[in-house]
């Protein structure tokens, strides 16, 4: 049994607004926050979060509770595993019967047996993806210090990277059938390249207020498996990591599972029958590497080889910052000069230069068949309208 002091500590540290913001778009409403309830279909927000009491409640369906109850509902986990899920997020130790326990004890197979029968995923119109595609976001601005404009534009096209009006990055999750599951929206600091944690993580379907949307995630970059079937596969935790590594080592298909807890069978089924080299993030205890290695041995539908690259080459200081393979690669790269203008420095005229219909059509053709883009580049072809 988990120690009561451990549970109290997690409730004290885990900010319920931050946790719920990973799943629901919340807006300030007096002393509380409100949003569209994730547990039932509704058009007007009836879901409220009260930070002063660290609880949530939906006046539409009646569901409510504390931060642990919310994770139990959203991740379909029993109470002990929900506690460990939050402990992992906040880097806290869990004690069971007076002894320190692993924060990763539940297995993917146990989680699968608790899940309800799978429902068909909802999709976002791909025209929305095309409209969002842009290099004008803070992450790209930061990466301009390490990569050329050509390298960044190719990577953005490869992953269909999108940008919001305020410079956040949209990581579209697109499956092998080129259907868009949704897009994870993350804000970055353009000077450091770090995620702005206060902004949380949002989802495109939530921002678009798509009613009854059933989010069934896929791997970030999963569409590359069909586009480049012969490329070896490399799997990492974060989307940003996959994006950066694709420019450093373009001969691989770099995919992201979206986080530590998503290295599990239902997220990785698209890799069935493949040899996959895996690069977990690092930490001071080595527990991340150990846990992923143990999980990889339980999953037999693919051959997972968990690399200790980060464990071997990260310094203790880098491990404290939980460096991933992309962080290590950038740390060894020489910054390059860039004349790119930061998104927040663009004037109104620069921000309002939409692509012509012909340019959009060509972009779609290149994304459907990358060979066309190669021909355009090699033959110096120009678009004639």
The pLDDT assigned to 154 comes to 96
**Global pTM?**
0.63
The pLDDT of residue 89 is above 50: yes
- Confidence class for position 367, pLDDT limits 50, 70, 90: low
Report the SS3 class of residue 99: strand
The pLDDT assigned to 113 comes to 39
Sorted by sequence, the CB contacts under 8 Å of residue 356 that are 6+ apart come out as 385
**CA 120 to mean position of chain CA atoms:** 21
The H-or-E segment that residue 275 falls in is strand 275-279
pLDDT by residue (tens digit) across 318-350? 999 999 999 999 998 877 655 544 445 444 443
The pLDDT assigned to 108 comes to 36
Summarize the confidence of residues 254-277 as an average pLDDT.
94
Sorted by sequence, the CB contacts under 8 Å of residue 161 that are 6+ apart come out as 133, 135, 137, 140, 155, 169, 170, 171, 172, 243
Return the higher-pLDDT residue of 319 and 358: 319
The pLDDT assigned to 135 comes to 92
What's the rounded Cα separation, in Å, for the pair 70 and 357? 45
What's the rounded Cα separation, in Å, for the pair 39 and 47? 9
Q: Are 236 and 276 in contact (CB under 8 A)?
A: no
Which of 44-58, 153-167, 273-287 bottoms out in mean pLDDT, i.e. has the lowest? Answer: 44-58
- What is the torsion angle, in degrees rounded to the nearest 10, for the CA atoms of residue 152, residue 233, residue 181 and residue 141? -20
Residue whose C-alpha is closest to residue 253's, from 261, 243, 240: 243
Most confident of 2-11, 203-212, 346-355: 203-212
What's the rounded Cα separation, in Å, for the pair 211 and 44? 10
The pLDDT assigned to 60 comes to 81
pLDDT by residue (tens digit) across 232-251? 999 999 999 999 999 999 99
- Confidence class for position 360, pLDDT limits 50, 70, 90: low
What's the rounded Cα separation, in Å, for the pair 184 and 194? 16
The pLDDT assigned to 337 comes to 55
The pLDDT of residue 105 is above 50: no
- Confidence class for position 52, pLDDT limits 50, 70, 90: confident
Return the higher-pLDDT residue of 93 and 148: 148
Q: Are 223 and 175 in contact (CB under 8 A)?
A: yes
The pLDDT assigned to 382 comes to 66
């Amino acid at each position: 049994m988990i120690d009561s002091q451990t549970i109290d500590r997690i409730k004290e540290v885990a900010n319920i607004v931050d946790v719920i913001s990973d799943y629901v778009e919340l807006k300030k409403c007096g002393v509380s926050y409100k949003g569209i309830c994730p547990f039932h279909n509704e058009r007007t927000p009836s879901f409220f979060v009260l930070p002063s009491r660290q609880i949530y409640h939906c006046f539409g369906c009646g569901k409510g509770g504390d931060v642990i109850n919310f994770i139990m509902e959203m991740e379909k986990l029993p109470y002990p595993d929900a506690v460990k899920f939050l402990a992992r997020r906040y880097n806290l130790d869990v004690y069971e019967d007076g002894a320190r326990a692993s924060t990763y004890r539940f297995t993917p197979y146990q989680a699968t047996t608790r899940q309800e029968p799978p429902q068909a995923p909802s999709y976002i119109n791909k025209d929305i993806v095309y409209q969002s595609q842009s290099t004008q976001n803070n992450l790209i601005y930061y990466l301009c210090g390490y990569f050329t404009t050509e390298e960044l534009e190719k990577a953005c096209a490869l992953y269909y990277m999108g940008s919001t009006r305020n410079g956040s990055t949209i990581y579209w999750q697109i499956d092998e059938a080129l259907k868009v599951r949704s897009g994870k929206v993350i804000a970055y600091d353009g000077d450091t390249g770090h995620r702005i944690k206060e902004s949380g993580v949002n989802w495109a379907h939530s921002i678009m207020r798509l009613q009854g949307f059933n989010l069934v995630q896929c791997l970030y970059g999963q569409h590359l498996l069909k586009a480049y079937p012969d490329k070896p596969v490399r799997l990492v935790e974060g989307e940003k990591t996959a994006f950066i590594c694709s420019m450093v080592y373009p001969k691989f298909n770099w995919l992201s599972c979206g986080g530590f807890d998503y290295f599990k069978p239902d997220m990785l089924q698209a890799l069935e029958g493949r040899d996959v080299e895996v690069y977990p993030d690092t930490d001071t205890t080595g527990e991340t590497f150990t846990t992923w290695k143990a999980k990889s041995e339980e999953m037999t539908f693919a051959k997972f080889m968990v690399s200790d690259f980060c464990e071997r080459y990260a310094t203790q200081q880098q491990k404290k910052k939980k460096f991933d393979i992309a962080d290590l690669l950038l740390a060894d790269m020489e910054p390059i000069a860039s004349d790119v203008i930061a998104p927040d420095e663009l004037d109104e005229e620069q921000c309002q230069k939409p692509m012509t219909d012909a340019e959009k059509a060509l972009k779609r053709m290149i994304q459907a068949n990358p060979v066309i883009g190669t021909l355009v580049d090699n033959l110096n072809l120009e678009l004639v309208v």
